[in-house]
Amino acid sequence: MSKTVTKIGVLTSGGDSPGMNAAIRAAVRTALYYGLEVFGIYRGYNGMIEDEIVQMDSRSVANIIQRGGTILKTARSKEFYNEEGRKKAYANLVKRGIDGLVVIGGNGSFTGAYKLSQEFGLPCVALPGTIDKDLYGTDFTIGFDTAVNTAVQCIDKIRDTADAHDRLFIVEVMGRHAGYIALHSGIATGAENILIPEEETTIEEVIASLSEKEKRKKLVNLVVVAEGHSSGGANGVAEILKANLPNLDTRVTILGHIQRGGSPTCLDRLIASRMGYHAVESLLEGRHNVMVGILNNAMHYTPIEIAIREKQRLGDDWMKMVKILAS
């Protein structure tokens, strides 16, 4: 294997997601195995600009695979949007001889990596670290499985109290632009209705569905809403339903950032480890400026600019299945 890089930087950027630490660990230890020097860049691109860069060894990533969050921290950087900010960031990499970069994050983080690769010729490999599972070119994103399992555990508990009081609960989960958490957790918990940005189920349809169930004396119902749904999230849905279905005892629960935290599941640890390992292998093999993903259980490499531009598309049969199973 011919080395194309000698020193690599690793950073996490954007929203945190469970499994990021496993990806950091895999990238660092794989790089060290091949005799590379590894530098951790704290607080994403902001830390790159502020020169918060430290050399890492094997002990730097000991005992972190089970931890949520990211030991490298994360932040958003307005300065990095400007060319001068990127020049300052790149100068800090050059100062240490860093000639390859592993970026763990979402769409915005990938855009930053693409800018660095295009403007300075820096070899970059991106890993999909986001709970939203909204990136093109991969079946899994680091953190999604943990977030969904957290949501499922919470919704199961909510169903218990809904059943005890014959209530309608509207549960809001994360997902401003993508409804995968709502879709998966809603199906897994038997939700009667699921509202996601990709499929604009109308409030009228929800009212009709709940009215029909009310006639059948089915008073326990769950509606799972992605925060980015056009209705305005759970509170917006609740206002409309209370006005149209006053006989239903309606409650709202917003799960919020609890979905980002916690120890990653086995699946998230495994995919993060695979992706971190293959990120370094890609840099060494000269496969640059790609996102490392997993499709059909095989590693898949998507050019970063395509991963940024294209959208993950929801299969047509998902919402049909939701309606059938909730009938």
CATH number, domain containing residue 163: 3.40.50.460
User: Cβ(110)–Cβ(131) under 8 Å?
Assistant: no
Give pLDDT, residue 211: 77
CA proximity to 181, closest of 226, 140, 211: 226
Last residue of a domain, one of 260, 279, 297: 260
Which residues are CB-contacts of 111 (< 8 A; sequence separation ≥ 6)?
308
262 marked as binding residue: no
User: How many folded domains does the chain comprise?
Assistant: 2
Task: Judge if 255 and 270 occupy the same domain.
Answer: no
Please compute, for residue 6, the number of CA atoms within 13 A of its CA located in the half-sphere on the CB side. 3
29 marked as binding residue: yes
CA proximity to 174, closest of 123, 229, 127, 217: 229
Residue that is written with structure tokens 């690793």 in the block: 10
192 marked as binding residue: yes
Give pLDDT, residue 233: 87
* Residue 281: both structure tokens together: 């292998």
Domain assignment of residue 197, yes or no: yes
Task: Enumerate residue ranges in the chain where pLDDT < 70.
Answer: 1-3, 200, 214-219
Q: Which domain holds residue 218?
A: 144-260
Task: Judge if 168 and 190 occupy the same domain.
Answer: yes
Domain assignment of residue 317, yes or no: no
Task: Judge if 180 and 114 occupy the same domain.
Answer: no
Q: What whole-number distance in Å separates Cα of residue 80 and Cα of residue 96?
A: 19
224 marked as binding residue: no
The DSSP symbol for 135 reads: B
Q: Exactly one of 16, 51, 57, 132 is catalytic; name it.
A: 132
Give pLDDT, residue 3: 54
Give pLDDT, residue 2: 46
> In the sheet where 53-56 sits, what is the strand order?
53-56, 37-41, 7-12, 100-105, 124-128, 290-295, 298-303
Task: Judge if 120 and 46 occupy the same domain.
Answer: yes
End-to-end CA distance of the chain: 57
211 marked as binding residue: no
Bridge partners of 37, per DSSP, are: 7
Domain assignment of residue 101, yes or no: yes
* Residue 17: both structure tokens together: 């997601």
Q: What whole-number distance in Å separates Cα of residue 125 and Cα of residue 109?
A: 11
Q: What whole-number distance in Å separates Cα of residue 227 and Cα of residue 221?
A: 19
Domain assignment of residue 131, yes or no: yes
Q: Where are the alpha helices (DSSP H) in 216-246?
A: 233-244
Rounded to two decimals, the pTM is 0.93
Give pLDDT, residue 315: 74
Query: For 46-76, what is each residue's pLDDT tens digit?
Result: 999 999 999 999 999 999 999 999 999 998 8
134 labelled catalytic = no
**Total residue count of the chain as it appears in this document:** 327
